[in-house]
Every structure is written in C-alpha cells, then in structure tokens.
A and B are shown apart, each in its own frame.
Chain A
Amino acid sequence: MIVYLNGKAYEASPGETVLQVALRNHLYIPHLCFHEKTGKAAKCRACVVEVEGMPGLKTSCNQPVTEGMKVTTNSKQVLDAQRLVVDLALSSGRHDCLACEQNGNCELQDAAYYLGITKPSFQLYDDNYEIDDSSEFIVVDRSKCISCGRCIVGCNHTVVNEVLNYGNRGYETKIVFDTDLPMGSSTCVQCGECVQLCPVGCIIDKRTIGAGRTWELDKVETVCPYCGVGCKLEVHIDRTQDKIIRITGVEDSPTNNGMLCVKGRYGFDFVNSEERLTSPMIKENGKFREASWEEAIALVASKFTSIKDEFGSDSIVGLASAKVTNEENFAFQKFIRKEVGTNNVDHCARL
C-alpha cells in the first residue's frame, strides 16, 4: 500500500506502523521508548504525529498504516508537542552529555538534536542522586533514567529473568531490582539485556566506562566462544590498541535475538590477557623455554615421524577441539588420518 509522509508517497505493508515506515525510509521521528524487540509501548510520547482525519496527535510507534494515510511529522503543532516531551525528559534528568558514556549513542541526545533543543528549559531533578555500582558488570545511574521501560520489558519478556520492574509511581517512578535491592544484591544474573536496551546512559557496562568513545570503536560481528547456542555477538574494538572494549548481542540474529549471558557479554578478557602465549615453548629438563616456530615445528614433526615409525600410527592420538572452527577441526582430523595414518582422533564432546 501507499502512505504519504509529509506529502511524499512511500510503500508500506499492512501491519507496519507509521514509525516503522518512516525509519525504514530514513525519515527520523523522535522516539525514546520504541525498540523493535520491546515493542510499541507508546509511552514516551515523543513520536507524536498528525494523521489526517484523526483528532489530535497520534503516537506513530503504535499507529498502524492504512491505505492512502496522510501523515505529517514536521508541522509546528507536531514539533511543539515533541519538543515539550523531549524538553521534559531532559529537564528531569542529569543529562550531562560531556561526561556520559552514551554520548554519541544516545536516543535522547538524537531527539534533542533533531528538535534543536540546546539546553533543558527547566530543572526538575534532584541533586541528591545515587549511582548503583553494586553489580559486578553493570552500573545504574537512575538520574539519567527516562522511564522508557525497555529494560523492564527486556528483563521480563525477552530474557525472562524477572528481576526489573517499576517501583513507585508518577514523578517518583523508578526502576527497581527485586524488592528495590541494590543491583548487586538482587537476583540479577547480569545478562546485560537491560544495558543493551537502555536508550540513554542510565544502565551501562561498568567495565567500559572511560574505555573509549562509541564513534572511535569498530564493530564486527562474530559468534560467542562459550556454550553451543551460538549467540551472535557484535564486538566493539579499539583499533588503536587492537583491544576488545565491549560486546553486544546482534538483535536480528535468529539464534539469540540480541540476548547474551554474563559470560558472552563480559567474559572476553582472555583474548587480551597478559597470560597469552606468544611464542612456542619447548620443555627442557622439566622447564619450558621459548623457542622459534621453526625449531618447535621441526621437533614436533620429527617426534611424530619417529614414533610413528617405531610404534606404528596407532600409538599416536589427537584431540580435536570443541572451541576452534570447523575448518581447523577439519584440518586436524585430516592431519591425524592422512599424515599420522590413524583414526585415533576425538575431542571432549562427552565431557
């Protein structure tokens, strides 16, 4: 079907919302609570638009498109309403972009920028705020929370850990863990789904604070090295140091839909570990010494050859790995079968 956004015709399919059609066509409408995964909450009200033939303003995130629908996203009435919402959100939090981890990756910042809000019109927030850093990997700064509810939906409906909820009501509404416990004392398993869903700098990774600006990091997709579910990861890297800074889940992956567990998201230190081996080692008199690749390979080849010659192929065994790639396992079993000449290859699938 065809819908008109600001007078221009766009192709849309039934079931889509106005916001989805707009975003798909790179027409920005401010939105703070909408996320493909957590759904059309229509709570933040920043995405209001005019729809011809409908009274008042409509939230575009939950407004289904209909054939020939005419939508205006940039009239004065619309922009004024959007501006009030975003201004109120800015006014009621401690949104100091300069010092915020999410600077450059903040949906509130994007909305304010689009609407030309340079500073909040009011100061509603209380200077007495506490940062909850009791959790091992996650920091919660409620003074930046805009009550979008994405973390709560994620915790309860996506990862279904059922730890997060709203507490209190009205202006006093805040996110709580269990019975309003510090995050680190709660039943939170630190899967980080809330971090991934937070549109602002309220729930963030503790270990990346100060580690790098989002625009300085490269992002590459890969697969988690832990269990066999095969969650797709996006790894954020600081190229200047070849260092992994943070890991997020890939939202459109059919295996994990952006979800990860505490290991997959935070357990990446081993890659950049100081304990990594960087040189072949040869044991002499019970002690390891560094050796060159040439020396080590030559030693291994000659030992395998001599043992094979003396005791037969079946005296050599190989353990392939459940942690390396298909290609490497293929090469390994080919080596054992072809070069050693035995089927004595196994790995720890059973262990």
Chain B
Amino acid sequence: MTNDIAGIKKADVILIIGSDTSAAHPVIAARIKQAVREGNSKLIVIDPKRIVMADYAEIYAAHRPGTDVAVMNCMMHEILKNGWEDKEYVESRLEGFEEFKTEIMNDKYSPENIAKISGIKADTLRAIAKLFGQAKTASLFYAMGITQHTTGRDNVWTTANLQMICGNLGVEGGGVNPLRGQSNVQGACDMGGLPNVYPGYQNVTLPAIQEKFEKAWNCKLDNKVGITITEMIDGAYDGSVKAIYVMGENPFLSDPDQTHVIKAFERVDFMVVQDMFITETAEFADVILPAAAYAEKDGHFTNTERRVQRINKIIEPPKGVKNDWEIIQLIANAMGSDWNYQTVRDITQEINALTPSYAGITWERVGRTGLQWPCPNTEHPGTPYLHKEKFARGKGLLSAKAFQEPDELPDEEYPLILTTGRVLQQFHTGTMSRKTQGLNNLAGPMVMISVEDAERLGISNSEVVSISTRRGEITAPAFVTKRISTGVIYIPFHYKESPANRLTNPAIDPIAKIPEYKVCAAKIRKIS
C-alpha cells in the first residue's frame, strides 16, 4: 500500500476493484465500512462477484473478469473529457501526459464501447467516473483480482495512471493500495525473496549494489536476474532445474495447472521442504525439515501498509523442531560456510545495515506499534504514505495501457469463465486454517454459480458437480447464488479435495510472471 490503514477514513471516495476485501482482508474491510457508515467516504465496488462490500457501496458494477484495464481506461476517458483530472498535479508532478491523453481519449474507451467489452452499462461507467473523478481525495484498493492476469502488470500500471491523473498519490487518504495476501508477503519481498533484487529492492544487476553485498558477505555474487516461481516449475518439468529448496510454501496447491506441477516435482532430482507439516508439497520431498510456528519464535513481519511489527515467542516449539533461520545456518555451515548468528537479533542488525529503507527499523525501535518503511535512520519516524513530495523516480510517468483480452476465453466447449479466490474462513492452501475443525465446518469446498446458469444446467444448491477445463477436472458442491454474474463461476483455492488450481491456466504475465488465476474457460456438468 502506498498509504496507511489509518488514512482510509480520509478518502472521500474509495474504489475497490479486484478484491473480495471482507473475505480476504476482513479488518481492512472493517475500516472501509467504518468510513462509509460514518459518512466520510463513498464506496465504489467493481467485481464480477457481488461481494459483501458491494452492500456498502454507492455504486456496484459487475464487470467481465479480465476487463479491468478497459474499465479504468474508460473512467479516465470520462474524467479527462469532463476536466475532472487534477490539472495542477498533472502539470507539476507527472510526465507523459499529452501522449497518454491522446491514447485514452480514443473513442474505443468511450462508455458505450467499453460497455460492450466489460458488461457494465455505459451510464454506470459514467456515474463511476463522475463520483471518482470529482472526489477531492480518492483511494483505490485492489488485491489479486488485479494482478493475477496475463495483463497483471498493465492492470497495476493502469491503477497508478488513474490515481496519478486524479492527483491521489502522495496525499493522505489517497493511494494505490494493493492488499497483501499473507502475513509476511510484504516482508518476503522486502527481504529480497525475489529473483531480481536484494533486500530493500536493490537491483542485483547494479554493480555498486553487488559490491556492497559481496563486501558484507565476503563472497562473490551473481549479477544475473534469477528465475521466478512459475519458471522454476517449468524448469523442473523440462530438466534444467535439478534441486528445489522450499521454505514454508505449498506450491502444490498454490500454483496453476496442478498436473504440470506434479510432473515437475516428480522429475526434480532433489527436493527439500522445510515446514511445520507434511504438506501436499512435502509429500514430494526427499528431505523434510521440521520448522517452528510463528508462535514459537521472535522476529518481524511487515504488513500490507509497510509496517514492520514484532512477533514474539509465545510458547516453546515442540521438541525436535528448529527455527527456519537456524536450519538455514546449519545447512550453510554444513556446506562449508561460516555463519555465526547467535540470536535472531543478529540478523535484524544485518538487515538494518544492508537495507536502506529498513535502516532505522532496529530491534529496539520497533516497539509495540511498529514502524513503517522507508525509515532511513534511527531518528526517522517512519512513513505513513509514500510519494508525498515527489515520486521515487522524480516525476510520475503516465503510460497508457491498451486493453487486451485474457489468455483463454470461453468458447463452445468451455462456455464459462472460471475465476478463483479466497473465502473468509480459510487461508491460502489451508496448511494453517484447515487444522481448526470449526473453520472447516464453516467453509468447505464449493463452486459458486449464478442462478441463471444453475437453472439452465439443472443444478441445484449443494449438488456435487464436475468442473473441468483444458487442464483437468475436479468436483465440488454447487453454491447457487445471485451474487455472481451469469457466465462466471468461482472456486476458492484452499481445498486439496477440490483443488481449483488443477483447473487454472498457467499462462503468465510476460513481465510480472504472475499466472492468470482470475480467468480461464471452464465447463460444469452434473455428475449423476
């Protein structure tokens, strides 16, 4: 998030696009609902599902999955047409506006034309643009509904375009606010758990950076960008990847096209999984190393608003279990290295020393409420929202993105659009949440289908049906509801007994390498 949670109430208008907020981020949802009910903010929800947040919205619109760029470009088309953009902001803080405007003002983005593409009525598109464009401050929230597309990067860029022309970046209550899906996904990114950057987003290809780390770690480092998770699976599949070391992840359920993943795991020479449980992925491992749970260790998580918060050891881990960092150190030293971390604090110190944005976030300073990065020194109070005076790169760059259809569209054989996501009561691949029986009682596998489609196919509520795509087939009970658009079905991906990712399309965004979980062609049939 460019902005902070506390600032949500400062927005006059809040747009949620591609986030089932109350299911996946319930406490942020509560903040948004507070802002709406207290009369501070008006809410716009754009989502193919009539998510709970739509009940709080001034305007709700269901768009066809995968048409986000089209919808937002249309909003900007209307905003520019009516002069609702923040002219002073555009003038002083952005560049590339003229070119951008020429593209966006193209008639193909008119409400009438986009109505045909997105399925949202032209008048509704106009109303959304008006409400959003005329707001003094508007914030935008999204989650995987924006990113998990072959056009994920274009989608993200377009949200930034929208917020930039409206002057909503770098102001309290505004912002582009992606909601991070896991407790420390932000921290994993910040700490360089990415193939192209060291901790603090320091590029692996920059010589000065490479030198800094080589000096600190006393070794030679590679300056070539590594491969992403989807490429790793492909590499294992085609034999270029020989060994996989997995720490606390369950790609078996989280990666697209499960059949492909299974084959990849089977083909790899050596696989190590470090986890609390024998997960579905761990079943394929050659060695499993038992790791401690969050409650059994000290350290820090970084949340979606970039707030670094302390986690404390609450209970002793079971006998025989070690902290992840201890295990890593053991392996490193067994490979002949000389790691010598005595406590986790030693690592924190190293992070402070090597990560400029974390430099001031020392163990002592984090305290009970945490600190938000960037926090460049030990006097710095942290940063509630980014881009206040200027953008990281100086001027904000506008770059219009053309609408592109998703990789796989429905056809005669697979006439429905399948989209996936989360439910409130379960989490990710269920490694944690499914151990609590009560949560399983509340939410089991399902496929959400519209009343119209269910009637057409003769499917009744709770009836177990078969769902298939070009990748595979699963079964799940049908949940017949008015909350989903006709022609769209939705399956949560938490369940190994009905694994949605056996169905999803592994096509990825060419740059962000993110798979298109939110759109693929599917069909449903009765079993009996």
> Measuring CB to CB, which residues of chain A are less than 8 angstroms from any residue of chain B?
136-137, 156-161, 189-191, 207, 220-232, 235, 237, 242-244, 250, 252-256, 259-263, 266-271, 273, 275-283, 288, 291, 293, 296-301, 303-305, 307, 311, 313-339, 341-351
Contact = CB atoms under 8 A, between A and B. Distances in A.
B28 A339 contact: no
Interface stretch (B110-118, B299-307, B451-459, B472-480): B299-307
Given A303-B243, A347-B193, A296 B311 contact: no
B97 to A, nearest CB: 31
Interface stretch (B10-18, B128-136, B326-334, B394-402): B326-334
Contact of A226 (B183, B204, B311): B183
Interface in B202-257: 204, 213, 217, 219-222, 224-229, 232, 235-236, 240-249, 251, 254-255
A189 B527 CA distance: 32
B272 A300 contact: yes
B241 A317 contact: yes
A319 B244 contact: yes
Contacts of B393: none
A229 B182 contact: no
A341 B331 CA distance: 14
A146 B301 CA distance: 39
A348 B26 CA distance: 21
7 contacts: A221-B312, A228-B179, A319-B232, A319-B251, A325-B325, A329-B191, A337-B221
A276 B282 CA distance: 13
Contacts of A319: 229, 232, 244-247, 249, 251
B278 A288 contact: yes
B114 to A, nearest CB: 27
Contacts of A331: 324-325, 328-329, 341, 347
A191 B334 contact: no
A237 to B, nearest CB: 6
B92 interface: no
A73 to B, nearest CB: 31
A331 B33 CA distance: 39
A333 B314 CA distance: 26
B192 A333 contact: yes
A161 to B, nearest CB: 8
Contact of A229 (B148, B303, B321): B303
Contacts of B332: 335, 338-339
B335 interface: yes
A349 B188 contact: yes
Contacts of B224: 343
A150 B424 CA distance: 24
B466 to A, nearest CB: 25
B514 A350 contact: yes
Contacts of B432: 225-226, 267, 270
Contacts of B181: 227-228, 322
Contacts of A226: 182-183, 427, 432-433
Contacts of B37: 156-157, 160
Interface of B: 5-6, 22, 24-28, 30, 33-34, 36-38, 56, 147-148, 152, 179-196, 198-199, 204, 213, 217, 219-222, 224-229, 232, 235-236, 240-249, 251, 254-255, 269-270, 272, 275-278, 285-291, 293-305, 307-316, 318-325, 327-332, 334-337, 341, 344, 347-348, 350-351, 368-370, 424-427, 431-433, 435-439, 441-442, 512-515, 517
A317 B183 contact: no
Given A317-B241, A334-B217, A270 B184 contact: no
**The 5 nearest A-B residue pairs measured at CB:** A230-B303, A325-B299, A228-B180, A343-B226, A320-B193
Contacts of A298: 334
Contacts of B322: 293
B314 A222 contact: yes
Contacts of A332: 193, 247, 324, 328
Nearest to A242: B315
A315 B236 CA distance: 9
B359 to A, nearest CB: 14
Contact of B196 (A231, A316, A343): A343
A350 B337 contact: no
B183 A224 contact: yes
Contacts of B222: 313, 337, 341-343
A221 B246 contact: no
A281 B288 contact: yes
A228 B34 contact: no
B307 A255 contact: yes
Contact of B435 (A253, A275, A297, A304): A275
Contacts of B308: 326
Contact of B316 (A161, A242, A268): A242
A341 B224 CA distance: 11
A160 B313 CA distance: 32
Contacts of B515: 350-351
A254 B186 contact: no
A87 B293 CA distance: 47
B438 A228 contact: no
Nearest to B147: A350
Nearest to B35: A160
Contact of B225 (A207, A322, A334, A343): A343
B192 A283 contact: no
A345 B290 contact: no
A326 B195 contact: no
Contact of B188 (A191, A244, A311, A321): A321
Given A270-B435, A300-B331, A311 B183 contact: no
B289 A280 contact: yes
A349 B301 CA distance: 14
A293 B30 CA distance: 45
A350 B219 CA distance: 30
Nearest to A291: B287
B301 A326 contact: yes
Contacts of A334: 217
Given A339-B335, A350-B147, A227 B300 contact: no
A349 B179 contact: no
